[in-house]
Structure 1
């Protein structure tokens, strides 16, 4: 069979069909129903994202804002104040309260994001390393009685998080520290 035997004339395609098969035009592939309808009714191709990029219209983002950011699991809004990043607005407001208490002298040694090792790093029998397990407290400080306090800002829902519950229990067992949960 020769190469030419597989060719067919463009005139053999009538009304977008070749025999019983429907032939798609390249310009319709990848278009939405609405865009294909506009093309069918007007004969003109609607503008696409690529046309706007090629023409240099880059003033607007390519995707709507809803597509670029994913909502957090617990609906918290990460925020920043004075170069310090906070996981939630509630955590930021608690930080302000603790700073005021430290300025007045009710607490001392206020620190943020303090890591506690709960389970040390271990080596498996095959020689690979199992990483250490850590708990990162939101705040640590000494109260007016001189007691060391570990505080975590938690909502009713995040208090039930399985990972947090296990780490809270390990903190008590390994370090003898009860985490104060502040809402």
Structure 2
């Protein structure tokens, strides 16, 4: 019998394995308590499945991708993957992908964004990533 996922784990793995059991129902998300200061983009930090997410939207997308993973439609699901950006072999920065997974034999790099978070810096990093790796970032709005 499958048990409902809990949100108690402190240091969960960043890569999902087939051995992990999916929740029978949508796991609850718990917004963090506010300390009086609003976030820059009004996002609400959320904990789901014992993992911390920068927004409710990102946690919701994680649950969607997790369902696809356990249904066998995607593979090798990872989150918060850091990828170095280089020019001429010299590291000039990094981009952190919210999710990386395999779909139809192709690696998909996905970032969850709102219109407000598609900043000039993100656009520059996305163009640099495309030039360096020859692949676009899938933006989930």
Q: How many residues align?
A: 108
The TM-score normalised by the length of structure 2 is 0.71
The TM-score normalised by the length of structure 1 is 0.55
Q: Secondary structure at 1:158's aligned position in 2?
A: coil
Quick one: which of 76, 81, 86 aligns to 1:114? 81
Looking at structure 2, the residues matched to 157 and 84 of structure 1 have their Cα atoms a distance apart, in angstroms, of: 24
Greater per-residue strand proportion: 2
The CA deviation at 1:158 is 1.3
CA RMSD of aligned residues (A): 1.9
Query: Could you report, residue by residue, the CA deviation over 1:93-121 in whole angstroms, capped at 9, with x for unpaired residues?
Result: 00000000001011000000001111268
Determine which structure has greater relative contact order: mean sequence separation of CA pairs < 8 Å that are 6+ residues apart, divided by chain length: 2
Looking at structure 1, the residues matched to 126 and 80 of structure 2 have their Cα atoms a distance apart, in angstroms, of: 15
Residue aligning to 2:61 = 94
Looking at structure 1, the residues matched to 36 and 52 of structure 2 have their Cα atoms a distance apart, in angstroms, of: 18
Q: Which runs of 5+ in 1 are unaligned?
A: 1-64, 123-130
Q: Which runs of 4+ in 1 moved over 4 A?
A: none
Residue aligning to 1:176 = 134
Residue aligning to 1:133 = 93
